[in-house]
């Protein structure tokens, strides 16, 4: 891609100005041009108005995170300019809605070396085209001309998107594109910039999709056939996806009156034999914790995806935070374990949702998958998964020929009791949230509570062996090992690259399974480093605190931010250098 292999364009404006759709179109065009794409969006929690931002990072190589800011800034209004002006650096490009017709009347002074392109998109749309809402398409046209984004690809996407609405709409959008192109040709011939999108051959079958959609896709591939939900930002898109697609495969999707009802229905569906799931965010998971414990008690396979947002309380519905780890690992009354996974990127959302179902079925226990708002919303290119290659695990069913008398909670060597579902002859039994004997009848004696508590913990103790539950990236001679979870792993991967390029030796540990923490792999990793650095987007250092309980005998350095945005890799790289 020209002499820059990595280009990041940030578009800011008012929510509802077509920022999101133009970003989507641009991202798709880049993917069509064979590039890797990773987008990042923030938008206001309010329905109308407020600042929205869409950032598209494109590269000839795999993209690991949102990156370290942008090279190109496009501002649709004054607020977007004000929010970003102090992030502009020499060499960056600024494209602004002016000098006339929009609400930025005058461009304030920008740092030296910033390449500025005037683009009065409001005026071009309103006056020249007569349709103000086509402003974003005027901008797309200009961007394609400035950075060599293939306009044919843009047109193809527009045609696919708007074709259903009629040729008039398609033509209008084409016209708007052309206005932007012509404006640049007529006014900016003399101003060059170093950014140039170079299409490349893509020989993989690539898709571009969001983290939330990817969770839906993973669920479908894992054989999920029941999904219950209550709408909540930033998780609702999972429900949209499954509502549309699971149903085609015979699945059932139901919107319930609250999250308690969702998780209740999921437990019931699981009891009836379904592969059941719910998707929610922190406030919903809080409401679900009583029935989460029930799920563990009755040993129900089920999956909960928590797309984390800023908290506590209603908190920051559309902002980024990873602060539900304690809730996921420890939430609920009583003394019980559960399996917790956390996804790094969009492809991981597919894979880990599949693993979540398989773990749930194999161990007959609830599994919580943690993603987060920025991962849920961001789109990424990755290789299309193959449904025929997916390994699907089903719960161990009772077999009258080999298992003897049916006992739902039979004590077995691996602590997994063959189960039965309603409809099976001769296996009618009770499941209860009360402590019980092997049969499932209430029993509060010390023997059964002791044995069952151990059973519940022991059966998942080796979950780390069930799948590729972590990844160690060890550099010989490194003293610092970076450990983190969730989407921060992407920022760490990129930071590790940056640090190594700068000659700093560093290792990193990437757990996919966060509870029970993959201690076998982690202990091996720890042998290679003197201290660990744990960057997390939360105040308490929730993973660091969990690791502390493992008495690893190494220094644990917390690194926390909690402003509603993800880490920039350069921040972590700097910290690595500092603590090494």
Partner 1 sequence: MATGIYAKGKEYKSEVPPTWCAGCGDYGLLNAFMNSLADQQINVNNTALISGIGCSSRFPFFIKAYGFHGVHGRALTIASGVKLANPELEVVAFGGDGDGFAIGGGHVPHMCRKNMDMTYIVMDNSIYGLTKGQMSPTTTPGMKTSTTPYGAPDNPINPLAFVLTYGATFVAQAFSGNPKQMRGLITQAMKHRGFSYINVISPCPTFNKQDTFDSYKEMFEDLPEDHDTSDKPGAIAKALDRTSGKLYSGVYYEDKETPTFLDRIAEQRKTAGAFDFQKILDIYRP
Give the footprint of partner 1 on this chain (CB under 8 A).
28-29, 31-32, 205-209, 213, 217, 220, 225-226, 228, 244-245, 247-250, 252, 254, 256-258, 260-274, 276, 290-291, 294, 298, 381, 384, 387, 421-434, 441-442
**Smallest distance, Å, CB 146 to partner 1?**
21
Between 131 and 254, name the residue whose CB sits nearer to partner 1.
254
Backbone angles phi, psi at 125, to 5 degrees: -70, -50
Residue whose CB is less far from partner 1, 217 or 235:
217
- Closest contact distance (angstroms) between CB of 149 and partner 1 is 13
Query: Which residues is 510 bridged to in the sheet?
Result: 471
By CB neighbour count within 10 A (0-12 exposed, 13-18 middle, 19+ buried), where does 119 fall? buried
Least gap, CB of 36 to partner 1 (angstroms): 11
367 vs 513, beta carbon nearer partner 1: 367
**What Rg, from alpha-carbon coordinates, does the chain have?**
26
Q: Check the CA dihedral 465-469-475-481 and report its sign.
A: negative
Residue 211 DSSP one-character state:
H
Which lies closer to partner 1 via its Cβ, residue 210 or residue 470? Answer: 210
Q: Minimum distance between the CB of residue 160 and partner 1, rounded to whole angstroms?
A: 10
Q: How far is CA 312 from CA 283, 286, 323, 404, in A?
A: 8, 10, 9, 50
Smallest gap from Cβ 388 to partner 1, in A, equals 9
- Beta-bridge mates of residue 513: 341
CB–CB of 292/331 below 8 Å? yes
Cβ-contact 128, 138 below 8 angstroms = no
DSSP states of 338-363: -EEEE--SHHHHHHHHHHHHHHHHHH
- Nearest approach in angstroms of CB 535 to partner 1 is 31
Tokens of 75: 């501002």
Nearer to partner 1, 57 or 123 (CB): 57
CA-CA distances (angstroms) from residue 170 to 9, 167, 174? 25, 5, 6
Residue 274: CB minimum distance to partner 1, A: 4
- CA dist 352 and 339 (Å) reads 12
Question: Looking at beta carbons only, is 148 or 252 nearer to partner 1?
Answer: 252
| Alpha-helical runs (H) found in 188-281 | 211-222, 236-245, 259-271
Query: Of 256 and 479, which has the nearer Cβ to partner 1?
Result: 256
| Cα–Cα distance, 514 to 371 (Å, whole number) | 12
Closer by beta carbon to partner 1, 228 or else 561: 228
- In 10 A of CB 487, how many CB atoms? 32
Q: How far is the CB of 338 from partner 1 (least distance, A)?
A: 16
Q: How many CB atoms lie within 10 A of CB 195?
A: 22
Whichever of 131 and 424 has its CB closer to partner 1, that residue is 424
Residue 423 CB, nearest distance to partner 1 (Å)? 6
């Amino acid at each position: 891609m020209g002499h820059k292999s990595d280009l990041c364009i940030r578009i800011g404006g008012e929510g509802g100005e077509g920022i999101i759709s133009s970003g989507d179109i641009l991202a798709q065009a880049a993917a069509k041009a064979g590039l890797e794409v990773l987008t990042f969006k923030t938008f206001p929690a309010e329905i109308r108005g407020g600042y929205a931002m869409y950032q598209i990072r494109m590269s000839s190589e795999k993209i690991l995170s949102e990156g370290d800011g942008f090279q190109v800034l496009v501002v649709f209004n004054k607020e977007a300019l004000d929010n970003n002006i102090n992030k502009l650096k020499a060499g960056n490009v600024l494209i602004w809605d002016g000098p006339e017709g929009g609400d930025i009347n005058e461009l304030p002074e920008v740092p030296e070396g910033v390449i500025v392109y005037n683009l009065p998109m409001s005026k071009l749309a309103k006056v020249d085209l007569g349709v103000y809402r086509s402003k974003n398409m005027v901008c797309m046209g200009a961007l394609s001309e400035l950075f060599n984004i293939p306009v044919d690809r843009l047109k193809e996407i527009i045609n696919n998107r708007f074709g259903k609405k009629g040729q008039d709409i398609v033509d209008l959008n084409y016209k708007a594109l052309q206005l932007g192109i012509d404006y640049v040709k007529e006014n900016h011939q003399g101003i060059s910039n170093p950014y140039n999108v170079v299409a490349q051959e893509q020989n993989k079958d690539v898709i571009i999709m969001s983290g939330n959609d990817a969770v839906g896709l993973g669920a479908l591939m894992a054989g999920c056939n029941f999904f219950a939900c209550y709408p909540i930002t930033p998780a609702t898109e999972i429900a949209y996806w499954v509502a549309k697609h699971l149903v085609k495969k015979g699945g059932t999707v139901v919107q319930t009156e609250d999250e308690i009802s969702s998780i209740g229905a999921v437990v019931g569906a699981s009891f009836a034999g379904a592969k059941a799931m719910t998707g929610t965010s922190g406030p919903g998971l809080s409401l679900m914790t009583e029935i989460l414990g029930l799920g563990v008690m009755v040993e129900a396979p089920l999956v909960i995806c928590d797309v984390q947002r800023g908290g506590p309380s209603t908190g920051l519905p559309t902002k980024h935070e990873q602060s539900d780890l304690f809730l996921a690992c420890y939430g609920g009354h009583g003394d019980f374990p559960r399996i917790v996974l956390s996804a790094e990127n969009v492809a991981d959302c597919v894979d880990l949702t599949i693993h979540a179902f398989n773990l749930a079925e194999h161990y007959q226990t609830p599994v919580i998958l943690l993603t987060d708002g920025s991962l849920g919303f961001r789109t990424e290119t990755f290789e299309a998964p193959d449904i025929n290659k997916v390994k699907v695990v089903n719960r161990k069913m009772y077999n009258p020929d080999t298992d003897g008398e049916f006992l739902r909670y039979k004590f077995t060597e691996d602590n997994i009791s063959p189960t039965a579902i309603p409809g099976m002859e001769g296996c009618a039994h009770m499941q209860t949230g009360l402590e019980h004997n092997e049969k499932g009848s209430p029993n509060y004696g010390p023997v059964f509570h002791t044995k069952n508590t151990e059973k519940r913990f022991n059966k998942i103790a080796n979950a780390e062996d069930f799948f590729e539950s972590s990844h160690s990236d060890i550099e010989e001679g490194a003293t610092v090992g970076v450990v983190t979870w969730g989407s921060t792993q992407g920022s760490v991967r990129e930071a590790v690259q940056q640090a190594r390029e700068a000659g700093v030796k560093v290792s990193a540990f990437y757990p996919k399974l966060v509870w029970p923490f993959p201690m076998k792999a982690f202990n091996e990793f720890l042998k290679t480093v003197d201290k660990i650095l744990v960057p997390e987007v939360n105040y308490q250092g929730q993973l660091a605190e969990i690791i502390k309980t493992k008495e690893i005998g190494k220094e644990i350095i917390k690194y926390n931010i909690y402003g509603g945005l993800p880490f920039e890799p350069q921040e972590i790289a700097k910290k690595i250098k500092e603590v090494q």
